[in-house]
Every structure is written in structure tokens, then in C-alpha cells.
Chain A
């Protein structure tokens, strides 16, 4: 196995594209090293992308936050401005592994490892984050929900890397939240996760919303019917019940030791509702 740590995207994408599928990107390594140890992957080439400056940036650019794909979980959690702007994304990041794991694990890795239960992903999707991608053919952008296509699989072409996430401008009186269910409070994998981002007008009516669910399908889902249930409402009981019903209806979960289909479906409705209420509270606090 070869190890390369290029300083530019051009070199990194050329290395990946030239390896004919035998290369893996090394960001935090908290998934890759476990897969290598378990002989699940045996790459000929590992491309460490942490020396690429553009991938390590977390900063506001003209009202938009840009989060480098190789920024670690702890760095995200320690960034006061980003916490104030996107608390729901930080909710998701905070739930990834332990402090030790978050000291290495990156948001780009959490997305590109393509676990359906990845905690930051529903929050990124609800936030409307866009993945900025570089590849041998140049640059492109795609909504975060289009990156993972199923467990361990992504829509990235050979040689492509997610470089950063671009967040929309934060609307006034808007808020976001991510909640997950796990039997334990820490160090666990989501049985269900729900991310909600919404905006309110001056009288408390919801004017925009995005709802995303994790761990209830082969990849994180955008639930447009759930968002429609919120828009135009004041999050009164009837609207929340419509939101819950839409969230449940979208679920296509698996039955496994961590949760049955019936349980995951029920909990998805509950968490979507609770996340919407927290997001609304944050929106009102401004």
C-alpha cells in the first residue's frame, strides 16, 4: 500500500483517478482504518487529504458558511460562530463517536463513508448544505442528499472528492435541530435520526422548512411532505401530527438488533416533531 499526502486538489484527484478504483481517501481515518483492519477494504493507495488547505477551512464567506470536508468534529464544535449559525448541524456532529473519534473524524468523511445512520448527514441536508466536489474533470456542486446512494456507496465518480460544504445564508428567525434515538446516551449508532431546519415570520408562522431522516432507509431521506406540513402552520398540534405522519410514511427501514421496522417508523415521527419544536424555539430566540 502506498501513502500520499498531496497539498493540492489537482494532485489528489489525479492520484485517485489514476489508481483505477484501488485508492481510498484518508480524512480522519476513523472509518477507513477500521475497514482496513477488518479486511473490508484493502486499498493499493491511500490519499491523505488533510494537507489540502482548502479542505481545512471553516469560515464565513459573505453571509455563507463554508465548512471544509476535512475539518474535524471537535473543530466544528469549538467554532463559536458556526455553533451560533447552525446549531442543528453541531447537534449532529456532537453525536459522532467519542471525543477521541471527533478529534479525528471529519464531516466530509461522515458523509462519504455513506452510513445510513451518519449523524451529521440529516442535519446537513435539513440545513440545505451543498457539497462542493473536485474531480479530474473539474469542479461541480451537488446537494448533500445526492452524495450517498446506499450503505457504503456514493454518487462520486472515480477521482472525485467532496472538498467542502457551502451553507445557505441564514434566514432571519430561522433555526435548526438534529435529534437521534439510541439506547445509550453516548458512543452509539443512531436507530433513527431527524433533522429539521425552519424559518418563521414575525407572527410565528413557518415560512420555510426542510426535514431529513437518518437510519430509516438505505440513505438519509429528504421528506418534502413533512416540510409541507410545517409551512404555513404555527407548529400547532394538528400540523405536528401531519409532520409526524409524513415522516412515518417516508420510512423504509430495516429490521435489525438496533430497532424493528415498526419501532424505527414510530420513533421517526416522534423525533421529527421534537426536532421541529426545538428548531422553532431556536428560530424565535434568533
Chain B
């Protein structure tokens, strides 16, 4: 079986890759493109560690086939900072110590950015519901929620 040739746009750059039919987008990112910022946790859509944006939608990259992103745009954690300048969410996660082992962090950052894009001033409850699909086994979530609220305030210019 020939591998599929897929052309897509990842973090704004046109990218070509080859993949097997049953290869997930997560596996394509990590194993074919060596973009290992996106993490594998459960592999079954429960933990959100593999969260990326596809066509502006927050999705689990473990629940998509690589061939499904043909002609689509994908945004991953590698595109979040602007060169050496961290995104406010990344900076606030560091300031608030909103991570320990770090496996959930790329997914939480992608999910949090997606939240702030549609709701620039979320309540604590709105943040907690939004990130229900992102599991963290270290922090107990409190510092993550605080970091998101603080980043949201900064991004609103408060």
C-alpha cells in the first residue's frame, strides 16, 4: 500500500508529508515531522495532551488521521511563541508555576488560547469547563486556572 502524500499548512507554513492510512495526525506530527511539542497521553481522546487546532478548531490530534488534514491548516504548540518571545499564556504558566511534569502543558496552552479567542474574559468556572478535556495529574488545576485568568487580563490590557 502506497503511503499518502499530504499537503497541509502547519503554523502558517506549507508542509508536505507522507503517511500511512491508519497513521494519526499526532503520529504524523511527532514521528514524520519531528514536531514533538504535541504530546501523547492516553491516545483515546480523554486527556487532551495532543490538542492542536485544525481549521481553527480545537481537536485531539490522536483522534484524526493524518490524511484528514489534506488542504487544511494545523496550528501546534511550536507556532505559539513569536520567535524568542513567549505568548502571554506561556509566560503566565511559567510565572504561576502552572506546570510540573509538563506533559499536559502544550495541550493546555493550545486549549487556553482557543478559549481566549472566543471568550477574552472567562470566569473561573468557564475556564474549568473549557479545559475539562485536558487532564493534569500534577498541579490540581488551580495554578493553571490562575495563569489563564492572569494571561487573559494582560491580553485585554487590564
Closest to A43 in B: B22
Cβ A186 vs Cβ B111 within 8 A: no
A46 at the interface (CB under 8 A from B): yes
Contact partner, A97, options B51, B54, B62, B133, Cβ 8 Å: B133
B155 at the interface (CB under 8 A from A): no
Cβ A29 vs Cβ B68 within 8 A: yes
Query: Chain A nearest CB: distance from B1 CB in Å?
Result: 7
Q: How far is the CA of A5 from the CA of B45 in the complex (A)?
A: 23
Closest to B20 in A: A1
Convert A1-39 into 0s and 1s, putting 1 for each residue whose CB lies closer than 8 angstroms to a CB of B.
Answer: 111010000000000000000000010111001101100
Cβ B44 vs Cβ A3 within 8 A: no
Q: How far is the CA of A33 from the CA of B50 in the complex (A)?
A: 14
Which one of A26, A50, A100 has the highest number of Cβ atoms from chain B below 10 Å of its Cβ?
Answer: A100
Convert B2-36 into 0s and 1s, putting 1 for each residue whose CB lies closer than 8 angstroms to a CB of A.
Answer: 00100000000000000001101000000000000
Cβ B111 vs Cβ A100 within 8 A: yes
Contact partner, B1, options A1, A34, A74, A100, Cβ 8 Å: A1
Convert A80-101 into 0s and 1s, putting 1 for each residue whose CB lies closer than 8 angstroms to a CB of B.
Answer: 0000000000000000011111
Cβ A30 vs Cβ B63 within 8 A: yes
Convert B36-56 into 0s and 1s, putting 1 for each residue whose CB lies closer than 8 angstroms to a CB of A.
Answer: 000000011110100100100
Given A3-B21, A100-B111, answer yes or no on A37-B44 (Cβ-Cβ < 8 Å). yes
Interface residues on A, range: 20 to 34
Cβ B63 vs Cβ A33 within 8 A: yes
A242 at the interface (CB under 8 A from B): no
Cβ A101 vs Cβ B130 within 8 A: no
Give chain A residues whose Cβ lies under 8 Å from the Cβ of B43.
37
Cβ B21 vs Cβ A2 within 8 A: yes
- Majority DSSP secondary structure for residues of B touching A: mixed
Cβ B45 vs Cβ A101 within 8 A: yes
Closest to A3 in B: B21
Given A1-B22, A103-B58, answer yes or no on A98-B48 (Cβ-Cβ < 8 Å). yes
B98 at the interface (CB under 8 A from A): no
A252 at the interface (CB under 8 A from B): no
A187 at the interface (CB under 8 A from B): yes
Q: How far is the CA of A101 from the CA of B68 in the complex (A)?
A: 15
Closest to A72 in B: B57
Contact partner, A3, options B4, B64, B111, B129, Cβ 8 Å: B4
Query: Chain B nearest CB: distance from A204 CB in Å?
Result: 34
B60 at the interface (CB under 8 A from A): yes
Closest to A33 in B: B63
Q: How far is the CA of A104 from the CA of B53 in the complex (A)?
A: 11
Give chain A residues whose Cβ lies under 8 Å from the Cβ of B129.
185-186
Apart from A33-B65, A97-B45, A100-B58, 18 more pairs, CB < 8 Å: A1-B21, A2-B21, A3-B4, A3-B67, A26-B68, A29-B63, A29-B65, A30-B45, A30-B60, A30-B63, A33-B62, A33-B64, A48-B67, A100-B51, A100-B59, A104-B57, A104-B60, A187-B46
List 14 interface pairs A-B (beta carbons < 8 Å), by A numbering.
A1-B1, A1-B21, A29-B65, A33-B65, A98-B45, A98-B48, A98-B133, A99-B58, A100-B111, A101-B63, A103-B54, A104-B60, A104-B63, A186-B129
A interface residues (Cβ-Cβ under 8 A, vs B): 1-3, 5, 26, 28-30, 33-34, 36-37, 46, 48, 50, 72, 74, 97-101, 103-104, 185-187
